[in-house]
Structure 1
Amino acid sequence: MSFNTALSSVQALGRGFDATSDIRLLYCKGLPGSRLVEVDEEHTRDVEVFEGISVPFVSKDIKCLQGESSRSHTGVLNFHQMAEHFNQPFSLSGKIPLGNFNAMFNFSGSWQADRASTKSLAVDGVSIALYTFRLTKFPLILCEDVKRAVPLNMGAYSFSKFPEKIILPRAIGLYLEYKPPIEELRYFLEFQVPRAWAPLPSQVPGQQRKEPICPSLQFSLMGPKLYICTFQVSVGRRLVTGLRLGLEGKKCNRLVIQLQHLTSLPKILRPYWDAHIPIGPPKWQGPEEQDSRWFEPVKWKNFSHVSTAPVENSETWIGDLSGVYIVTGAQLGVWDFGQKSVLHLRLLYSKVPGCTIRRSVWDHTPSPIMSCASSSNQGSMKSDSLASANSGSESTVQIGKFAKIVDLMEITRGPHDMPGHWMVSGAKLGVQRGKIVLRVKYSLLNY
């Protein structure tokens, strides 16, 4: 056992490691002896580790040193302080946790969720090193095959062609922070472009009216009316990655729907969805007005209801080779049945030819970043969401009566949701604990 460990230690030198994974000897990357840096393998000697245990054919560039004992004591630190402490020995700045940090504390690797569930951390222990193998050749020189693998073009596609050999400086920050699977790396990087919410306040008609001219809902006999903005939101050929409900207007009494989208089209989708490629007209789709099975009251059954029917495109199937339909627009509407008016949702679908659906899932949870903020300060979270929705106002928006009836949480998927290239393919309204909520269906595509 001691001989095998010593031999593995020698063979691991120069092979490198993945900073997002456990860095113990068992998790060393590559095959034994397949190094990233040049080591003199011609001039070797046998190195005695202990009495009776020696490792043969050890390069003269590798030296064996006697081990030492050391104590590590950090005191009590918060999550990011401890992550920064673990990053220092690797000469990496920042507070994003690495793989050895996650392995030490048995964390999941999703640092947003781990941080939200962790109050404080501490390390106090003694480590005893029996021996140390170390490369003594400096400066270190990359092997020729590694140099040839580095492309001149630093784009995402060229980066993904050699993930097992070296990490490009351009993407190392994203890779360390989100730890995407190697096989998904190309798609992950393509989707890391800025995101924006639509529509802008200036695009919505009647933004500054005190009493909006639009249909309304009422949830009790003497209660105030919630007006519904029926403006059609469309983002064209941009990928939608999230939805949210918001309250706008001077009285914060107008319900709107907003879409989060990528501000530019990923290169991987340009052969299928660029502006010059014909895809046919987009199609609006929504629930049937007569189907009362999906009608749910928000407060009382004699007042306004919500249609909870899921809105999905009936022409899109997993594995369908003719193309897929994804969401590129949304609209709220009201069916007028007197006091029992029904709020419903319509979605605009656009075709992406040449692609197929790999996987779809309904997401009932808000984004992790929003969840973390909510768990730390629920009241502040609601206020921030409301102020975000009413971005046309310069003053801070106060929580209104309808914030207790409408869930303002964002439902989004981004780089923290592996594999990091989800897009919206469906949605539905719902009622939960007396609140109007939004549920979103996400899909992954095969390109």
Structure 2
Amino acid sequence: MPRSMEEMEIAGGGMAAAAVQRAVRCLGRGVDMAGDLRLKHCKDEGGCLVARSGEKAAAVAVPGVGVVAGVPADVKFGKGDRIRFKSDVLEFNKMSELFNHRSSLPGKIPSGLFNSCFDFGSDSWARDAGDTRCLAFDGYFISLLDLRLDCRPLALAGHVVADVPVAWDPSAIASFIEKYGTHIIVGLSMGGQDVVYVKQDKSSPLSPSVIKEHLDKLGDQLFTGTCTLPPSHCKSRDHKFKVPEAFNVFDAQMTRQRIEGMTAPMSCKEGVTVIYSKRGGDTAASNHSEWLPTVPLMPDAINFKLVPIISLLKGVAGVGFLSHAINLYLRYKPPVAELRYFLDFQHHRLWAPVLSDLPLGLCSNRQGTNPALHFSLVGSKLHVNSSQARNQILFTLLTS
């Protein structure tokens, strides 16, 4: 049952300090950018990946949170802020690039956070981009305090450098990524965010300007008002306010999803998907106004700042192999359990005899080859393309 605000405040002081302490421990640890960005996904097995100052940790009094124990000297606290951020209506690659930029990362390869926010469940980046017309979001971001790792210069710990595979060894490389991740957390904010994400596919006829207009109106209604009726029931002064069905996040379906405890209700109509997501605070709160006062009591990590592990391995033997493997992994995002098999098929192999490998002339004592294809139940996976090529071959022969 929902707790009263007094009960939440009593328990919230200890919860907030514990959450900040957990965030402090995660600074300097690895994270896998192919998955969602959350503190619970930090790579604890690999420990801290960067060389620390070695100074003794101490308890620090954090305003609004309380006393946080075990804070290393190279962890710095900063004052947070509260902002409402409205993105432009962008194509797939531009929005992916924006998400990476907000995490201090270059490039446009979709991260796991990006896929999680916009509910992209496909295993193909190209397919997701091809099916998507545009993306946008409108959110309220509350940063109670900022944490950053102040290690200068930033360098990897010795045990991480020692574990870098020096050759193309799919098993060793997969183990490295599974243990240490792909990036290092060097900063984050503690607080919460209340965001509306919009995804439009190619079947929707709405223009980007129309998507932007309705998203702005929906955001204004969510973040500045407490209306609990469908937007179609809240008419404007000229009584002509009307929104597409997908933007009706106050309807019976959304109410039922909140009651059932879903933290990211979704509405999908006519090629437009609207995703309503909270992180931090009481995510079961019925509206934005009820959620706001719960953020200081139950803060979560947002606004991660990351550094690629590869960027700290310059001059280390094997960095080229590891860099290539991580790029392939982040681009195609195979399951971690199958990563070694995925990497094994990326290695250059000779499928024909090399020059002078076969003897010239007749040879009567050579052992005959067995024209059979052998399979192993415990070996690398064999993926067979079932699409038929016969028609294409016949067409090529007829037109050649």
Of Structure 1 and Structure 2, the greater helix share is in 2
Of Structure 1 and Structure 2, the greater strand share is in 1
Q: Which of structures 1 and 2 has the bigger CA Rg?
A: 1
Q: Which has the higher contact order (CA 8 A, sep 6+)?
A: 2
TM-score, scaled relative to structure 2? 0.50
